[in-house]
Amino acid sequence: MAPAPPPAACFSAAEVQRRLAAGACWVRRGARLYDLTGFVRQHPGGEQLLWARAGQDVSADLDGPPHRHSANARRWLEQYYVGDLQGDPQGPVENGSVASANTQKTDPVMEPKLKAVDWDKDLVDWQKPLLWQVGHLGEKYDEWVHQPVSRPIRLFHSDFVEALSKTVWYSVPIVWVPLVLYFSWSYYGAFAQGNVPLLAPFATGYSVAMPESAFPGLFLLGLLVWSLLEYLIHRFLFHMKPPSNSAYLIMLHFAMHGQHHKAPFDTSRLVFPPVPASLVIGFFYLLLRLILSAAVAGTLFAGSLMGYVIYDLTHYYLHFGSPHKGSYLYHLKAHHVKHHFAHHQSGFGISSKLWDHFFHTLTPEEPHLKTQ
């Protein structure tokens, strides 16, 4: 016979009030209490929306309209259950801190929809590195990887390799912006001197001279090229469905992008780490140099690299920022949240929705967004 579960902890209204006063973010659903302090910064709707619900009953948010994914939200919430509220669950606490919540409802567009997981019964052992385990999930991998959880991921046994697979967001501008400035300054000087051919030396006979005024146009073209590459890579490479009989392709998919969909709030895995990024960026630069002259290739490369920096920083902000409702970034964040939690095969643009418009892969509109 399985052992009986331990009794739930009980908290008085005064104790809940003390925890709130100390800076904790507790919410309740009926008499059940949940400590969301560790999730505040990760909340898809931003910190302010969650802090506004601290101490309140979120039953109306989870059980009532207009939430289309309330079942997922209820399951997710159970990850943070800490105990029960003593006394009348409908009664207020001192200062009204734990009160019925019909007032400020959370934003349904940004509502977290993470899956509640019994970590002991999950398909993988979360106490061990995941990369070697996911390859054996076979047909179950695609469904498993698109059931996001709120916890960090470890990929490798080796601490050194694991460190190379993670990074902080500010490493992106620190590493790559100086390179953008170096290439821009160097090759603007080449354009200023004149006689810049378009193509590489092997095609000199077919090349044309580029004027100094071409520099800003080539830089902007690089930005546009990156935005298209970003879309195509995300749609056709990152969201390919690996064959269930290939453990290595499943592992490759998980290392490239699956890990991000499984743990979308793992702060160390939201931007591309500099070491693997340098391999991809170096390959892209060499490819440009095979076709174009040094100045033209370098200018296009600088624009594309700047586009990559904007992309990665925007991506991080879409996960952790709190854009003003109705702003461009608010709609872009709503677009990305729906990509993660509802429509995995649409909404591939990160820094803009340009190519989603062009290729008709926009995520379905929320009804109340259409009127804003």
| 16 has a pLDDT exceeding 50 | yes
Residue 368 marked ligand-binding: no
Helix (H) or strand (E) holding 209: strand 209-210
Q: Is 260 annotated as a binding residue?
A: yes
Task: Output the average pLDDT for the chain.
Answer: 81
**Residue 72: CA count within 13 A, CB half-sphere:** 15
Give the model confidence (pLDDT) of 175-206 as tens digits.
999 999 999 999 999 998 888 888 877 766 66
Collapsed DSSP state (helix, strand, coil) of residue 175: helix
d(CA 320, CA 323): 10
Q: What superfamily would CATH give domain 9-85?
A: Cytochrome b5-like heme/steroid binding domain (3.10.120.10)
- The pTM of this model reads 0.75
Angstrom distances, CA of residue 327 to CA of 109, 145, 332: 14, 31, 9
CA distance to 9, 199, 200, 209, per residue, from 206 (Å): 79, 8, 10, 10
Pairing between strand 10-11 and 81-85? parallel
Can you give the residue ranges of every domain in the chain? 9-85, 159-359
Residue pLDDT, tens place only, 75-122: 567 777 888 887 655 554 444 444 333 333 444 444 455 555 555 668
* Residue 343 marked ligand-binding: no
- Whether residue 361 is predicted with pLDDT greater than 80 in this model: the reply is yes
Q: CB-side exposure of 333: number of CA atoms within 13 Å?
A: 27
Q: Is 360 annotated as a binding residue?
A: no
Q: How many residues does the chain have?
A: 372
Is the CB of residue 312 less than 8 Å from the CB of residue 269? no
Q: Is 319 annotated as a binding residue?
A: yes
Q: What is the pLDDT of residue 372?
A: 42
